[in-house]
Chain A
Amino acid sequence: MCDQTFLAITFGPCDNCSQNKPLMNIYLKNEPINYCSLCVELMACQGLAKGETIHTLKAESETLKTKLEEERAKLHDVELHQVAEKIEALGQFVMKTRRTLKGHGNKVLCVDWCRDKRRIVSSSQDGKVIVWDAYTTNKEHAVTMPCTWVMACAYAPSGCAVACGGLDNKCSVYPLSLDKNENLAAKKKSVAMHTNYLSSCSFTNSDMQILTSSGDGTCALWDVESGQLLQSFHGHSADVLSLNLAPSETGNTFVSGGCDKKANVWDMRSGQNVQSFETHESDINSVKYYPSGDAFATGSDDATCRLYDLRADREVAIYSKESIIFGASSVDFSLSGRLLFAGYNDYTINVWDVLKGTRVAILFGHENRVSTVRVSPDGTAFCSGSWDNTLRIWA
């Protein structure tokens, strides 16, 4: 693992408000300054300087973007599939549905695995969030949310709680009780508040913090106990649809993808956007880190999945095929990172060889859009959720 994944962060008095906070490193008139995220935002909101118009501002941004692409191209000396030529191709690939979980009354929108490798939580359009023991296919808990379209759900690392949210613009945490008579909804804790729908949520390394992304274009980090907003992340110009935490040693960054076709990498402490990639031709529906943390994959409505390297700072592979016409809604890597599982809106799941860039298998079975694909924590299987109201475990 390369040490470049570490971000040196300054913590100290902001040059503007003098408060002790994690500082963003930005340049003003080519001079580096240290502002906290709040002051950066305020400065940005101050409007245009004298002589500036929105057009000049946009033009400046465009020149910078072009310059950035030129810089990125300079160190690009080889393509991934060239490097992968010496590797053996993968043989025949057979994966079957091993379990089908039926019980949702409407489209399944999101799925997450528990760290015990066999339980999952799933959420659906009908407002129900169900915790299953996927191995026995038993339902263990069910929560009825006060809203429909529960687009996000996550299992807490301890396995004792689940977080979910959707059209209610909130993220709520429900502790899982084993008392049959207890109404889980009674102990619910409202954690996050956004101004638009919640698209994705994830616990950080503990049960105490939650990272959320929303249709209001922002991501946010919350303290579960108090519901306090710890950090917000601004930089997307449209709905943010997905986020994923980096499996890095210091656990300080995450990547988000949105309807503005951008994938942004953020520092969780300062709120700074540290890297940005814009090569997709349509909305990015899903982002997922490569297991080593040095790259991430995206799935988009333009029917392609792409791999971006964080150290090379560029897109390094595109996974597409002429016969794949519909968008990819969800992606995930196998444990070694050699395989990329992608669920598509044409009801299929395609399995890609990450290194060679070829498609290894196509899995049929769902009778409607595949909305979510997640590999289990120990890599023994993956779970797919679909608009056909079912979940399938494949191995």
Chain B
Amino acid sequence: MTINTLSQDGVQRQQMPCLTKMERMIISMQDPDMGIKLRNQRLLITVIPHAMTGLDIVEWLIKKCSISDEEALHVGQLFVKYGYIYPLKEPRNLILKADDSSYRFQTPYYWMSTRWPASELDYAIYLAKKNIRKQGELIEYEKECYNALHKRINHTWDFVVMQAREQLRASKQRRKGDRIVLECQEQAYWLVNRPPVSPEHYKLTTLTKNTIAITYCAVKYNQIFFLSCLFFLARNRVKSSICLESYVKYCEQYQPHDPIMQGCLPSNPWITDDIMFWNMNSETVALPTKLRVERWSFSFMELLNDQMGRKEFLTYLEKEFSAENLCFWQACEDVRHGETAKIPEKVDEVYKQFLAPGASRWVNIDSKTMEKTLEGLKRPHRFVLDDAQMHIYFLMKKDSYPRYLKSELYKNLLARAIVPQETKKSVFPFMRRQRHSSPSPALATQTAEDDGKAKYSNSNSGTASRL
């Protein structure tokens, strides 16, 4: 990867789709029928043709894109920032104002996409012209740039001055109106491309994403892609209607559980500064909320993902004398996601507890899978228990899980589950509640490690900064 100091290529690659889009819009803005109405604008003693007001721009955008004022102003602002539209009254202030301030479209010659990069030589000529035309016209940072350039490209300075003089002479032969327009356009271009503060789209140290030319081997890539394609083609597909319906169902089912969509009871902690919601839904709470218990019925995965749900399910399985299934599944998960070095010993444990003939918690797997698994145990690896795990998982999902949902245990819990009261709005809405800090998860393991040393930080203070 390269952080190029003159990352023209990279930036151009990133910018191009945006610039093309902006230019398309600019062109439609200038459409004689559907575009913005242009009029003459008086600037001091001269009349500038084809000008428009900031309000015109904003209103056109509102109508064209069906957006709000705020957004239209924001979009319009982008056009000014990137130099497609420039202000007439205060040229150095690249801001769009939604009032009667005048703006003009920049000529395509000076568009960002066509004039990239803005070379040092061009800039030097421009500054020299300004300097010659009227002494003291250069402002502070321009003077600095001018002096720096003078030092840097001193060897071509004669050329610079000559070019400047030539261009000034040629411009004197133009009509005053045209001359002013051209000067405005050129000035606007340089204000965008050589601003006092480097804009982010022009920053010299920009991260560039590169198409890796060095390591990418065309042949290898195409071979792999070719092989993959055959695999892709062989795939079984499902009708769109079925797939899309499932999203509708999913969103509908989960909507009451989505705090951003439907709020949460008692209240959203981020909004009211009250952490009751988190306390009531913690892992170790005595009685869970109704929504939480209902969610366990959505899918087997939801039940297992909730520690409390898992515990409840284990209790149910114990009643049914099939708790070893869940324990086996958990042990397999531990093998799959655990440390590589510990795999052989963990697999051995699993075998002893669950798979060996006469094991204390023997799991009932079909003979074919059992045979394959036992064979694989001779050379244990991370996925050796996958088949057996999946068999047991499906067993639980298709058999024990539905029965659990119909059981007294579940139904009782659902009946007893809490529906929290909505927090009453504070009498003094502007008074902020104290925000309590919570013990860091890192603390839990640390105290487990330090045998007796209780390192509890004061968990009710507002600040517990460890920096």
Measured CB to CB, the closest approach of chain A to B252, in angstroms, equals 8
Measured CB to CB, the closest approach of chain A to B269, in angstroms, equals 6
Complex contact A281–B17 (CB within 8 A): yes
Contacts of A275 in B (CB 8 A): 232, 235
A60 to B243, CA, bound (A): 31
Interface centre among B64, B269, B384 (most CB of A within 10 A): B269
Q: A323 interface residue, CB < 8 Å from B?
A: yes
Measured CB to CB, the closest approach of chain B to A250, in angstroms, equals 7
A274 to B229, CA, bound (A): 9
Complex contact B217–A45 (CB within 8 A): yes
Q: How large is the interface on A (under 10, 10 to 19, 20 to 34, 35 or more residues)?
A: 35 or more
The segment from B45-53, B417-425, B437-445 that touches chain A is B437-445
Q: B317 interface residue, CB < 8 Å from A?
A: no
Measured CB to CB, the closest approach of chain B to A302, in angstroms, equals 5
A237 to B268, CA, bound (A): 44
Contacts of A118 in B (CB 8 A): 269, 278, 438
Contacts of B376 in A (CB 8 A): 11
Main secondary structure of the interface of B (DSSP, over half): helix
Complex contact B440–A178 (CB within 8 A): yes
Q: A330 interface residue, CB < 8 Å from B?
A: no
Measured CB to CB, the closest approach of chain A to B319, in angstroms, equals 25
Q: Which of B230, B240, B253 contacts A64 (CB 8 A)?
A: B230
A74 to B278, CA, bound (A): 47
Complex contact B21–A325 (CB within 8 A): yes
- The answer to whether A380 and B259 touch (CB under 8 A), given A71-B237, A118-B438, A178-B466, is yes
The residue on A at minimum CB distance from B241 is A78
Contacts of B278 in A (CB 8 A): 117-118, 378
A205 to B381, CA, bound (A): 18
0 or 1 for each of A125-162: is its CB under 8 Å from B? (1 = yes): 00000000101101111100000010000000011100
A200 to B270, CA, bound (A): 28
Contacts of B253 in A (CB 8 A): 336
A325 to B341, CA, bound (A): 50
Complex contact A177–B446 (CB within 8 A): yes
A71 to B445, CA, bound (A): 52
Measured CB to CB, the closest approach of chain A to B451, in angstroms, equals 16
The residue on A at minimum CB distance from B381 is A20
- The answer to whether A309 and B243 touch (CB under 8 A), given A238-B211, A380-B270, is yes
The residue on A at minimum CB distance from B338 is A208
Complex contact B238–A336 (CB within 8 A): no
Q: A119 interface residue, CB < 8 Å from B?
A: yes
The residue on A at minimum CB distance from B14 is A301
Complex contact A178–B215 (CB within 8 A): no
Complex contact A337–B240 (CB within 8 A): no
The segment from B69-77, B91-99, B115-123 that touches chain A is B69-77
Q: B428 interface residue, CB < 8 Å from A?
A: no
Q: B395 interface residue, CB < 8 Å from A?
A: no
Complex contact A76–B240 (CB within 8 A): yes
Q: Which of B210, B235, B261, B437 contacts A133 (CB 8 A)?
A: B437
- The answer to whether A249 and B233 touch (CB under 8 A), given A140-B440, A223-B340, is no
Q: B239 interface residue, CB < 8 Å from A?
A: yes
Q: Which of A11, A83, A208 contacts B244 (CB 8 A)?
A: A83
A6 to B151, CA, bound (A): 67
Q: Which of B64, B72, B299, B435 contacts A1 (CB 8 A)?
A: B299
Complex contact B210–A336 (CB within 8 A): no
Q: B18 interface residue, CB < 8 Å from A?
A: yes
Q: B218 interface residue, CB < 8 Å from A?
A: yes
Q: A67 interface residue, CB < 8 Å from B?
A: yes
Q: B284 interface residue, CB < 8 Å from A?
A: no
A228 to B341, CA, bound (A): 10
Complex contact B301–A249 (CB within 8 A): yes
Q: Which of B65, B233, B440 contacts A68 (CB 8 A)?
A: B233
Q: How large is the interface on B (under 10, 10 to 19, 20 to 34, 35 or more residues)?
A: 35 or more
0 or 1 for each of A339-382: is its CB under 8 Å from B? (1 = yes): 10000011010000011000000101000110000010011111
Contacts of A237 in B (CB 8 A): 211, 216, 221
A141 to B465, CA, bound (A): 8
Q: A50 interface residue, CB < 8 Å from B?
A: no
Q: A393 interface residue, CB < 8 Å from B?
A: yes
Measured CB to CB, the closest approach of chain B to A241, in angstroms, equals 7
A43 to B61, CA, bound (A): 56
Q: Which of A306-349 contact B (CB under 8 A)?
A: 309, 311-314, 316, 321-323, 325-327, 334-339, 345-346, 348
Complex contact A208–B339 (CB within 8 A): yes
Complex contact A303–B443 (CB within 8 A): no
A2 to B250, CA, bound (A): 12
Contacts of B229 in A (CB 8 A): 61, 64-65, 68
Contacts of B393 in A (CB 8 A): 249
- The answer to whether A322 and B216 touch (CB under 8 A), given A238-B211, A290-B247, is no
Complex contact B232–A133 (CB within 8 A): no
Q: Which of A158, A311, A322, A355 contacts B237 (CB 8 A)?
A: A311
The residue on B at minimum CB distance from A359 is B67
- The answer to whether A27 and B227 touch (CB under 8 A), given A48-B219, A119-B441, A239-B211, is yes
0 or 1 for each of B277-292: is its CB under 8 Å from A? (1 = yes): 1100100000000000
A275 to B381, CA, bound (A): 26
- The answer to whether A215 and B65 touch (CB under 8 A), given A235-B224, A303-B17, A355-B247, is no
0 or 1 for each of B94-107: is its CB under 8 Å from A? (1 = yes): 00000000000000
Measured CB to CB, the closest approach of chain A to B373, in angstroms, equals 11
Measured CB to CB, the closest approach of chain B to A66, in angstroms, equals 10
Q: B427 interface residue, CB < 8 Å from A?
A: no
- The answer to whether A197 and B251 touch (CB under 8 A), given A135-B275, A208-B339, A215-B212, is no
Q: A44 interface residue, CB < 8 Å from B?
A: yes
The residue on B at minimum CB distance from A325 is B21
Q: Can you list 21 A-B pairs with a CB-CB distance of less than 8 A?
A: A2-B246, A11-B376, A20-B381, A67-B233, A71-B237, A84-B248, A177-B446, A178-B440, A215-B1, A239-B209, A274-B232, A292-B247, A309-B240, A311-B242, A335-B261, A336-B261, A337-B250, A337-B251, A338-B258, A380-B277, A393-B270
Give chain B's interface residues, CB within 8 Å of chain A.
Answer: 1, 3, 14, 17-18, 21-22, 25, 61, 64-65, 67-68, 70-72, 74-75, 78, 200, 207, 209-212, 215-248, 250-255, 257-261, 264, 268-271, 275, 277-278, 281, 299-301, 333, 336-341, 376, 379, 381-384, 386, 390, 393, 435-438, 440-446, 455, 457, 462-467
- In the complex, besides A40-B227, A44-B224, A362-B68, 16 extra interface pairs with C-beta distance below 8 angstroms are A11-B376, A44-B219, A44-B220, A60-B226, A77-B240, A133-B440, A197-B1, A205-B333, A217-B216, A234-B224, A239-B210, A259-B211, A272-B228, A316-B243, A335-B257, A336-B250
Top 5 nearest A-B pairs (CB, nearest first) are A159-B441, A336-B254, A44-B223, A336-B258, A206-B337
